[in-house]
Structure 1
């Protein structure tokens, strides 16, 4: 008898079958390989994976015949799912009535049948893994175990495809929600930036036209108002940039000459005073997301220079490889980060009590974007830093 409970509720059984989305889902080589093995191991001419519908039986895989579907009534498979046996085996010499009914159904004369019900976790038999022979025969213990093992693998395949279908559905919904969120962020940022621009321009105009009428404290208040408006505008830009960064992750993968990539990025900062950036002279990267890696380096280098109050600002980039990763390190002689803050700096919207060279606070978005890109490239990032002595950001990405 079956170790598992087998439900006799037909309505629930059909509902369970519908969850697998396999009704007439076409040929599949994975299932075909299982029926082929069953026929060869058990030395029978026909093997099938039979899906039990409401009134019909159709086949996910068939070996040895071209039969498409049959009526369910009086079929061997219908008897299998309600027999309560781990393997339902019958021969024509002991049960001639079964084979007389089935001759017309199957369109050929069989004298042996063995079927293993494919039962899900809730006890619903959604299908039968079965074999047929045109002569009376028996299965030895090894053949029975092999047939049950192949049936179990068939059920595992059904479960795997079911979970894959669910995951694809969830991914589609998440992708749509993310698009809606990106659209919302874009609209909100536009609606916020327009009045911000008016606040900044009107405040500057108020300062210019009332220079003689305003005392020092009033002018300082207006300066604070302008500074806060610029900070809010940068924050809104950062939010929009974070959500739009997913488009970078969808870029094609390509081979990259690392020195050429870094030269284009570091040239952007060459006009700034007292900036020294060094990077490797060699390095070839295979099949990577060039746009995402470029964004990572741009954010790390930009932060290294912005949060650096030294007279000569230095950034040193190193590169090495392992069997599975491309490894990078971006070091600077900047202001550094306290040990209490090194764990949280990669969290979105997490800001420290630090200001850049121009006195502006961070938005808490740049390093979160860096981590998102590196995670997508199947890598990781960490920071080693000491307050007042600079930082080293070490990260690695998966290599092909």
Structure 2
């Protein structure tokens, strides 16, 4: 909204203007439409949105003339931002000296000017919404009121642009910090994984060369050392994959044949006779992040196969679509999740305190990554599970 009290501090005014990143910015049809409406309502040939810089007045949008930049000194807008009135109305017949000083500044010789200062909430006039005519004119009260309304909408656009500019700045800063964090994590993981590899290889060598010299308890200690080293290595890899998953979300969206996507995931696993995976043979997904959805199914299938102690492991994948979402289900006959731990299943680093069928503990990262991908695709996931019977992961993603 326009403010009646205008600050006279020029240094603070220019600092406020810089926050909007509007001075000498590119064309914008929203501002062009406002000047068109102003000219039509006020029945004048020319309307402008003029930004007041340090030494010049620059037109952000115009109607009835060409975009231009003029000297701020002796301009009508200079008088407008220092006026104590809501409108500065100038007639050449009433203010000949003002028009004489402005001679040569404008593209034609005007005889009428009305300007509304665009004042922010701190009282700084950063621009002027104005109309011109080459002949004398008197605006009616409803025309002045309409011009004020258009000026208010213009200021709202400025404020929106300011918030968008701030948001982009924060996003750039966060991306830079994230890249630094990722680089740090990569370096740390390398420094951790290298000695882990040495521990594993040296322990295995120690076991092999001293097979006949070690008692059973010593062999158990060495086996535990190897298992712990592998677990720590997998944990580090999981953390890196979780934070690197943001890169997947930057991939282009595309149309995908759903059976082909699933076949690519299923083929990654060595499907033995004790594994049965059923999935739809039809279905097309439009405008989705294929990389992210593939990662979701990879993690869900991997968990369903690892946390399953049945002789015959089975996974059923189902799909349907509604007007707004694609709906998926991944149901298995695995170990299931205890009721008291279902809510925490998708939390980062949350584990079920159980080992998989190969004796390895979980990292608590896989399902957190799944949830992260699905929520970034404007979706939701939930799980229905019965210990000893199996789990059914149901999720949906937004149709774009």
TM-score bracket for the superposition, by shorter chain length: over 0.9
Normalised to the residue count of structure 2, the TM-score between the two structures is 0.94
**1:77, distance to aligned residue in structure 2 (A):** 1.2
Mean alpha-carbon deviation: is it higher for 383-392 or for 121-130?
383-392
The aligned counterpart of 2:361 is 361
**In 2, are the aligned partners of 1:319 and 1:327 still within 8 Å (CA)?**
yes
The aligned counterpart of 1:81 is 81
CA distance in 2, matches of 1:243, 1:299: 15
The SS at the match of 1:213 is coil
Matches within 5 A, 1:18-57: 18-57=18-57
CA distance in 2, matches of 1:269, 1:73: 75
The aligned counterpart of 2:113 is 113
The aligned counterpart of 1:344 is 344
Matches within 5 A, 1:128-139: 128-139=128-139
The SS at the match of 1:106 is coil
**1:290, distance to aligned residue in structure 2 (A):** 1.4
Task: For structure 1, list consecutive stretches of 5 or more residues without a partner in the other structure.
Answer: none
**In 2, are the aligned partners of 1:371 and 1:380 still within 8 Å (CA)?**
yes
**1:234, distance to aligned residue in structure 2 (A):** 0.8
**1:107, distance to aligned residue in structure 2 (A):** 5.0
The aligned counterpart of 1:91 is 91
The aligned counterpart of 1:234 is 234
**In 1, are the aligned partners of 2:50 and 2:77 still within 8 Å (CA)?**
yes
Aligned Cα root-mean-square deviation (Å): 1.9
CA distance in 1, matches of 2:223, 2:68: 80
What stretches of structure 1 move > 4 A for 4+ residues in a row?
Answer: none
Task: For structure 2, list consecutive stretches of 5 or more residues without a partner in the other structure.
Answer: none
Cα pair distance change 1:283/1:143, threshold 3 Å: same
Normalised to the residue count of structure 1, the TM-score between the two structures is 0.94
1:103 and 2:109 matched = no
The aligned counterpart of 2:182 is 182
**1:207, distance to aligned residue in structure 2 (A):** 1.9
**What per-residue deviation string (whole Å, max 9, x for no partner) do you get for residues 288-334 of structure 1?**
12121111111101101111112221111111111111110111121
**In 2, are the aligned partners of 1:114 and 1:130 still within 8 Å (CA)?**
yes
Mean alpha-carbon deviation: is it higher for 122-131 or for 145-154?
145-154
CA distance in 2, matches of 1:183, 1:107: 56
**1:273, distance to aligned residue in structure 2 (A):** 4.1
Count of residue correspondences: 399
CA distance in 1, matches of 2:293, 2:22: 41
CA distance in 1, matches of 2:67, 2:351: 67
**1:125, distance to aligned residue in structure 2 (A):** 0.6
**1:91, distance to aligned residue in structure 2 (A):** 2.4
